[in-house]
Structure 1
């Protein structure tokens, strides 16, 4: 299983869900169709990330708002917002707890791939504040 691929696919699905009237199965189906040959375990982890993030979305958005003093949630770039949501789900709500440094590093790597030049630093700042403040 590739956790990085799972996170990439989850991010793509979450981005779709953020901007389109669709459900998570349809969004994930679109992503899976674009990526042939992905291991079933990777797909399952991606589904877990999407469903977990969606089920805790209200709480996650409150956490982002309280740790992002300069940016309102609606003004954040969609990619940055969804990478941050995904990382917070993994930090706070995921069944399997990984170390915060791994989760933050993975979020920054996603930002480098899918975001703008400033995305990595922006996401690192929010997640770093969250970990530092323990909430």
Structure 2
């Protein structure tokens, strides 16, 4: 049985297909579990972004950057995970289920709030208002 793909955002939990043909939500409990998983993935995506940005700062003090150095390999792995999560989140939004789309937005926002608050305390002098 093939399902018709929606062409507009909708709020629903019946026959909601997520990522794979066999992964279909048919109850409120299924939807809540899917929303929770999407939220965690969005949080992790923001965490991987920050980890990738901070890795060169920590590794620069003691390691030389080479193609196959551990810091570069770790950063490559973090990049792959971040890209993978970004595509999974994009596909969740492309289901046109409004619950999933809102969860991606809220998860990314909460992830930014949790992971970026300390980084944003240290403002760059180039970004500050030159008039003050």
TM-score normalised over the length of structure 1: 0.28
Q: TM-score scaled to structure 2, two decimals?
A: 0.28
- Larger Rg, first or second structure (1 or 2): 2
Hey, which of these two has a bigger chunk of helix by percent?
Answer: 1
